[in-house]
Structure 1
Amino acid sequence: MKDEDYLFNDHNKEEFPPAHTAEHLLNQLMVRMFGCERSRNAHIERKKSKISYVVDHKPDRKEEREIERRMNELIAEDLPVTFEYVTRDELPDEVDADRLPEDASDTIRLVRIGDFDVCPCIGKHVRSTSQIGKFEMLGTNWDNDTRTFRIRFKIIQ
């Protein structure tokens, strides 16, 4: 089925599909590496993106390099990016319904990246991770008071 077959919520962004798909990968990677939630604060753009996570410690340089290495490894795996449509009652266990907007449509589009990630999303994505390009971490910031780790990155195609 195509997105045109469903009425989804209004979407006011025009994503850069490679960076937006990388955002999905990075969210799942951070969940797995640091046991944190997916980001609630992301600004994803064509030239430079930034995304923040609440984590239990300030990641060191070794962990930062590992994030970049694992992201590029996932991209190189050429994982398929697929979509499926479910109702709220049919959401998989790994999808947190509390993160859906209150006015979300009854039909939810799930974006799957291989067996690595599944997330509700109505944005644009690449067809497989190899189309993303190279993930380059530009820098990080740590806010000790809020335990927030911000990653700045870009996608090189």
Structure 2
Amino acid sequence: MGKNYVPHMHTAEHVLNGTMVSMFGCDRCYSAHINTKKSKCDYHFERPFTEFEAIALQSAVNTQLQRNLEVTEEIMPIEQAQERYNLSRLPSDDITTIRIVHIGDYDSCPCIGEHVQNTSELGEFIINSYNFEDGRLRIRFKCKSAD
């Protein structure tokens, strides 16, 4: 695997993405930088984000994490995946199967990254900051240890 994945933060990114899609009707992030202590996701967004929205988003993500959702994966034929998921970021056309990661019944998407086994391992999701510029909403976040 070429990237250095941080399983707990990568799993948090999935829950954040699922929450952004459900709360704001936007697409999943188009760019993400996942690190051990803090991470960021960039979204195509039409307007500035409000403090109220940031608080509501953080709360909604934490609600999902506290559900102790099991993280599972399945290998799916590419034809079936094309019907359900946006596969535009795939590097090659010669793929016949794809790995789908499920965060309980809350979120699922194609992914090659490493994840925790259960959202109970993530601790508290915290939005450190956010800003909006030229149609890009950037959300910086971390997970406070569950220990």
Give the structure-1-normalised TM-score: 0.86
User: Please, which runs of 5 or more residues in structure 1 have no aligned partner?
Assistant: 1-10
Corresponding residue number in structure 1 for 2:62: 72
The residue that corresponds to 1:139 in the other structure is: 129
Q: What is aligned with 1:154?
A: 142
CA RMSD of aligned residues (A): 1.5
Q: Give the distance between the partners of 1:152 and 1:81, measured in 2 at CA.
A: 23
The runs of 4+ residues in structure 1 deviating greater than 6 Å are: none
1:110 Cα offset (Å): 0.4
State the alpha-carbon separation in 2 of the partners of residues 103 and 93 from structure 1. 16
What secondary structure, in the 3-state scheme, does the structure 1 residue paired with 2:27 have? coil
* Residue 18 of structure 1, aligned match among 8, 14, 25: 8
Distance change >3 Å, CA 92–CA 112, structure 1 → 2: farther
Q: CA–CA distance in 2 between the matches of 1:30 and 1:118?
A: 13
SS of match in other structure, 1:91: helix
Kindly state the Cα deviation for residue 121 of structure 1 after the two structures are TM-superposed.
0.7
Q: Which residues in structure 2 correspond to 1:1-157 (within 5 Å)? A: 11-91=1-81, 93-102=83-92, 105-143=95-133, 146-157=134-145
Secondary structure, aligned partner of 1:119: strand
Unaligned runs of 5+ in 2: none
- Tell me the TM-score normalized by structure 2: 0.92
- The percent identity for this pair of structures is 41
- C-alpha separation between the residues in 2 aligned to 1:134 and 1:58? 25
